[in-house]
Chain A
Amino acid sequence: MGTVFRRNKKGFLAISFVAGLLLLAVACGSDSPDSSGPSGQQVGAQPTAVAEQPPSSPTPVPTATTVSKPVQAAATVSEPVAETDDDVPVLVNTPGPVAMLAPDFTLPSIGGGVYTLSDFRGKQPVLVVFYRAYW
């Protein structure tokens, strides 16, 4: 009897989970036509696609941000919004290094001899000039 009860409990949980998903789906379907007429069906279709996409392809940030508003309105999933919040600082906050080690080079001089940038390290600063003939 106990095992049957547990099975029933698991079954009940599974059924209620599916029922919850169905309710959410119905909620999504019913919300969008109310808010924005016939075109709302397209909007309602996009959020579900976006909710599946982020793990596989997080790169299309612009589409994610544009579609994230309907997702918020439907109040179904908050993860896409959180992911765009994570992505935006990475894109916006690109701190350049204050000091970066200059790539070393050894090049011949037209007057003869060879110059290596790292030879000047600890001796004197170097102004590396890339120039064009008319500069």
Chain B
Amino acid sequence: MQKAKAELDATGVQILAISTDNLEGPLNFAAREGYEFPILFTALDPTVPQAYGVFNLFGDGLASASMFLVDQQGEIVWKSIGENYTHQIYAEEIIEQIEKLG
């Protein structure tokens, strides 16, 4: 994901990463990977992932790996919801969708 950061920055999109892990996971991960976009945490409160319909799809109490592209009107114009553990979303696909916003 970090590799795609520069390409995504060029599109002017704001990335908000949301972790539903406990705090230790994303803290260590962000420090290790040097993420430059905000990593938000839910502190195990499932309200937000539930609102997006991605909570506990695998029965492990975590959010599924998913992305939602929200346009400037606040509407979800594209989404990719992880249906398995190895769900992959490619940066090219995301950038293509962002460019559709114009």
Contacts and interface: CB of A to CB of B under 8 A. Distances in A.
Given A132-B21, A133-B29, A126 B70 contact: yes
B13 A124 contact: yes
B38 A109 contact: yes
Contacts of B70: 102, 117, 120, 125-128
A109 B75 contact: no
A113 to B, nearest CB: 8
Interface in B26-71: 26-27, 29-30, 38-42, 47-49, 51-52, 54, 62-71
Contact of B12 (A107, A115, A124): A124
Nearest to A97: B76
Interface residues of B, number: 49
Given A103-B52, A107-B42, A135-B1, A127 B76 contact: no
A18 B30 CA distance: 80
B71 A125 contact: yes
A133 B72 contact: no
Contacts of A132: 19-21, 62-63, 65
A130 B13 CA distance: 16
A100 interface: yes
B13 A99 contact: no
Contacts of A103: 48, 51-52
16 contacts: A101-B75, A107-B40, A111-B39, A113-B38, A115-B40, A126-B13, A127-B68, A128-B18, A129-B67, A130-B52, A130-B67, A131-B18, A131-B19, A131-B65, A132-B19, A133-B19
